[in-house]
A = this chain, B = another copy of it.
Amino acid sequence: MAILRLSHVEIRVPDLELATAYYSEVVGMFETAREGDRVFLKCWDEHQHHSVILQSAPTYGLVRMGWKLQFLEDLDYYQEKLEAVGVQVDRLNPGQAGPGSGSSIRFELPSGHEMELTYGMDQVGNLLPLTNPPPKPLGMVGIAPPRIDHIFLTCEDVGVNTKFLEGALGFHMTEQVLGDDGFQVATWLEHSNQSHDIALVTGQDKGLHHFAYYVEDWTAIRDAADILAYHGVNIETNPTRHGATRGHCLYFFDPAGNRNETFTGGYYVDHDEPPVTWTEAEMGRAIFYYDGVVNQKFLTVHS
């Protein structure tokens, strides 16, 4: 009975062809379907039909995020829990959310972010044979991350939304930044035993701060930076380490202005471990451990 992990992210892009070129040739994802004004992509090691959906729209931003459920019965379980706290829930049948999609429920977080819990997305296989496979395909272009990793949202009231994720959805908070006034400025939560699957930072409601791709190690972060710089992509931060989650990261923007991250490191966490707390004075190091400096631009959602 559980949410397993981040399943997919649907984002807005004004120029669908340009964004598709970027996500397939620079990020190195693989297109699996097109339908109307939407393009579906997956990473090479993902077995599911898609993990990123691009939707043609006037400007950048998040349409919704999807989370993978372990069992079909989890749909009822979470619908009940959500409705019990007054959240309106919509039900979708397989295929209704687009090619390859499974059975889902949709609802809004208090922050207005649209969330989808889904079971049974089509399995299309990763890019390797199931018999005697090599460890990875050769000759992929771009960064070619094996999978997506997590999502980071902005919202006006981090505390309220964190409680919602913990209460109705069973997320476990691993880290938080506590303001001097005792309110949560940012929180990190997980379902998958990774340092975080979702995080929230104070900002505008419905905002997408970034979503992240997993890469193998610190050297892969460097290789990603080489590839992005080669293509003239807007790199926001040099390779560095987060204090919170301990992960290594690199931030950059897609052509629409959606912030992307390549992430690695982080830790394995048991759900019963106590959270780490960062004080407001050390928020700089919580975000960027090395130089401890977070500029105002990084705390906004756009490029």
Contact = CB atoms under 8 A, between A and B. Distances in A.
A246 B277 CA distance: 35
A216 B217 contact: yes
Given A216-B217, A226-B241, A136 B246 contact: yes
A241 B135 contact: yes
A131 B279 contact: yes
Interface stretch (A151-159, A202-210, A229-237): A229-237
Interface in A257-284: 265, 267-268, 270-279, 282
Contacts of A45: 267
Nearest to A227: B138
A171 interface: no
A159 to B, nearest CB: 18
B130 A276 contact: yes
A67 interface: no
A70 B135 contact: no
A36 interface: no
A298 interface: no
A302 interface: no
Contacts of A238: 237-240, 288, 290-291
Interface size range of chain A in the complex:
35 or more
A30 interface: no
A1 interface: yes
Copies of this polypeptide in the complex: 4
Interface in A156-212: 192-193
B240 A239 contact: yes
A106 interface: no
Contacts of A68: 270
Given A219-B218, A267-B45, A267-B146, A277 B131 contact: yes
A243 to B, nearest CB: 7
A58 interface: no
Interface in A90-111: none
A96 to B, nearest CB: 21
A225 B290 contact: yes
Contacts of A230: 134, 138
A146 B246 CA distance: 13
Contacts of A282: 132
Tell me which of A123, A135, A216, A267 has the highest count of chain B C-beta atoms within 10 A of its own C-beta.
Answer: A135
Given A4-B271, A5-B193, 10 more contacts: A5-B270, A130-B277, A131-B277, A131-B278, A134-B229, A138-B227, A222-B241, A237-B291, A238-B238, A238-B240
21 contacts: A5-B270, A123-B272, A130-B275, A132-B277, A132-B279, A132-B282, A135-B289, A136-B226, A136-B246, A138-B227, A192-B193, A217-B218, A218-B222, A219-B219, A222-B239, A225-B241, A229-B241, A229-B289, A235-B291, A236-B291, A239-B239
6 smallest CB-CB distances across A and B, nearest first, come from A217-B217, A238-B238, A135-B246, A238-B240, A132-B282, A219-B219
